[in-house]
Structure 1
């Protein structure tokens, strides 16, 4: 049976990871980006219309104003994106999914260590280090890929032209929304879960060294008997 101190540290690590998963779960269901563009009917050169796209990871909303008409439509992201844009979007979802998977592993390993004393294997502190660090790293990579996709590919144009390709677009302006930024505290809390176990592991190592010191410092003549 582990000590009360060990239980407290590993349960704290599990709790931090649960909070992280909750943050990412909310973030994945919220808005991720808002994109605005000037719009004109193809061949006219009169950019008096506009398109406002509010995107989440799975669905979004398109508001047209004289582009070339005015209406509001909802859409499914994967049904309107094409080429590089849909590939990068799929990569973002895969990375976030893997992050959640590794977070679940962190929770399970932390809970296992809070009720047992496993050997120093992947089911010990090293497992928390690996899973928690991977969760944070994958989520940061997902953030970078998403912002590149939203600003440097045809993602927004694919949405506007999905039901009317007879338009020209320019002056694209993108802004990240709350769902995107919620990934940051998810990564931070994942690292906090790792840091809690690092503190415990260092304290446990120091305690073991202090227990061994009297034997190490004893005269060789005494140790022979």
Structure 2
């Protein structure tokens, strides 16, 4: 039976990881970015229209005002519509989505390993602290990659311009693109931090346990000379 200290550390790690999964799950269901642009009919210098594109991971919303006509609002599935626009935006978006799914999978594995260690004493294998280090580290690293991929896709590629032109009745010119990340994007950050906290909790226990083992296995040269003579 594990010690009380071990149970507390591993249960705390599982609890922290579960919270991070809840945060990421909610983040994946809400807005990730909002992009606004000035709009004009192709060939016109009079930019009197605007287009506002709000993206979630699975759906998007486009609000057009005089772009190029009276415009309107349309809700659309993101990935199928990105497939029609070009290769780079859909690849980056799909890659970010796949990495988020992997984050959830590795978080679930970290929770299971933590719970297993809280009720048993496995050897130092992938079912022990090593497994939690690996899973939680992958969660943190992959989530950081997602942050980079998404912001590059929104700000560097022509994702927003292509989507606006997909819904415009005629070709339009767009300028002064301005993008800002929304709640869903920023919720990945606390997920990353909590994944690292889970690692720290296990490391604190692992380091204390290692120190205790070293103290119990001191070499004979630390013993008094009188004892060594016998």
Matching residue of 2:76: 75
The one-character-per-residue Cα deviations of 1:54-110 (angstroms, maximum 9, x if unpaired) are 111111111000001221111111122132001100110011111111111100110
Provide TM-score, normalisation by structure 1.
0.95
Is residue 2:115 matched to residue 1:108? no
Give the Cα–Cα distance (whole angstroms) in 1 for the partners of residues 220 and 64 of structure 2: 79
Match 1:210 to one of 194, 199, 215:
215
Provide TM-score, normalisation by structure 2.
0.93
Q: Which moved more, 1:184-193 or 1:81-90?
A: 81-90
Q: Contact 1:31–1:177 (CA<8 Å) still a contact in 2? A: yes
Q: Contact 1:80–1:158 (CA<8 Å) still a contact in 2? A: no
Per-residue deviation, 1:167: 1.1
- CA change 1:72–1:196 in 2 (3 A) is same
Give the Cα–Cα distance (whole angstroms) in 1 for the partners of residues 160 and 21 of structure 2: 29
Q: Which moved more, 1:6-15 or 1:207-216?
A: 207-216
Q: Contact 1:40–1:46 (CA<8 Å) still a contact in 2? A: yes
- CA change 1:150–1:112 in 2 (3 A) is same
Matching residue of 2:195: 190
Alignment of 1:107-146 (within 5 A): 107-146=111-150
Q: Contact 1:57–1:77 (CA<8 Å) still a contact in 2? A: yes
| Matched length | 225
Per-residue deviation, 1:215: 5.1
Q: Which runs of 5+ in 1 are unaligned?
A: none
Give the Cα–Cα distance (whole angstroms) in 2 for the partners of residues 76 and 48 of structure 1: 28
Per-residue deviation, 1:218: 2.5
Per-residue deviation, 1:223: 5.8
Per-residue deviation, 1:163: 2.4
Q: Contact 1:34–1:55 (CA<8 Å) still a contact in 2? A: yes
Give the Cα–Cα distance (whole angstroms) in 2 for the partners of residues 178 and 30 of structure 1: 7
Q: Which moved more, 1:147-156 or 1:215-224?
A: 215-224
C-alpha RMSD of the superposition = 1.6
Q: Which runs of 5+ in 2 are unaligned?
A: none
Secondary structure of the residue aligned to 1:31 is coil
Per-residue deviation, 1:168: 1.3
Match 2:204 to one of 193, 199, 223:
199
